[in-house]
Amino acid sequence: PGNERYYSVRLGAAEVFVIDSDEALRNATDMSAQKAWLETALKASTAAWQVVVFHHPPYSSSSTHGSSVAMRWPFASWGADLVLNGHDHTYERLSTGGLTYVVNGLGGAGRYAFGTPLAESQFRYNANWGALKLVSSATSLVATFVSLGGTVQDTFTIGTPPAVPGSFAK
């Protein structure tokens, strides 16, 4: 909304909503303003997919920072399809309330260890650095985490998986 700290951008079939969890966690008034903006923006989105991005993960099994419980906003009921975070230098995919959360802090800084896995945790990786690739279409959002060296460590699809070349529909 013109403040350059939280905003949305349309990228193909997805709309990405970026919020500032640093300021939200420091300032209750700012948190309320961001929540109100995000709820309104998500509900108004006409994109096929709504992806929310911010720094502090609501859910994380990392032994270093772990979960930022104050950031457990009702993203799913507002229309989000995926929540992406960093902060912990691990890769973890979690699911709760029908919504997928991904922590990806393996961009190059020192890697963190995992503590006791959260019940919501579906996949954890911290053996090497890597990147998450998202591909959106009108019917699916496909995410692939690739570690340094090109090895696919995790992949998941939200929506209808794309057809595999050479396969036949029944």
Q: What angle do CA 29, 31, 36 make, to 5 degrees?
A: 100
- 127 near 145, Cβ under 8 Å? no
The 10 Å CB-count burial string (b at 16+, else e) for 74-113 is ebeebbbbbbbbbbbbbbbbbebeebbbbbbbbeeeebbe
- Structural tokens at position 82: 């995926």
What residues does 133 pair with on adjacent strands? 144
Q: Which positions are annotated as active-site residues?
A: 65
Angle, alpha carbons 61-76-10 (nearest 5°): 100
d(CA 60, CA 87): 10
